[in-house]
Amino acid sequence: MPYTDPLEPMLQREEELRHQIARRLAEEAGAPSSPTVSADHLAAADEAIAAWAEQGEEEQDQRAFRPIGPLQELLAEHLEIVERIVELQDRRLS
């Protein structure tokens, strides 16, 4: 059985989420549905991801008190997978 790096599926999932976020942003902006995303939509996704990560933990904890939308769910999942990737990479360096 060949060796598979446990980091690879996590990196793939992170990229999938990034594309899902880009498609969701395009959809919310009124763009027609498309299986591919443009560079502009990916840039907008990167900005949304960075803004979500920079928000204070207090703001993100508000999710417990009010429903969040599909975009926020994707952003929260993306942040979670990135945190797991960083944790695994840190463990490898120790």
Q: What is the pLDDT of residue 62?
A: 55
Q: What is the pLDDT of residue 18?
A: 97
pTM for the whole thing? 0.84
Confidence at residue 93, expressed as pLDDT on a 0 to 100 scale: 87
Evaluate whether 90 touches 44 at the Cβ level (below 8 Å).
Answer: no
Instruction: Please choose, from the candidates 33, 41, 58, 48, the residue with its C-alpha nearest in 3D space to the C-alpha of residue 79.
Output: 48
Measured in whole angstroms, the distance separating CA 21 from the mean position of its chain's CA atoms is: 7
What pLDDT does residue 9 have? 94
C-beta of residue 24 within 8 angstroms of C-beta of residue 70? yes
Chain CA centroid to CA 51, Å: 11
- Tens-binned pLDDT, residue by residue, of the chain (94 aa): 788 888 999 999 999 999 999 999 999 988 887 788 899 999 999 999 999 998 855 565 555 566 778 999 999 999 999 999 999 999 888 8
Instruction: Give me the long-range contacts of 89-92 (CB less than 8 A, separation at least 24).
Output: 89/7
* The predicted structure's pLDDT at residue 64: 58
| Predicted local confidence at residue 36, as pLDDT | 86
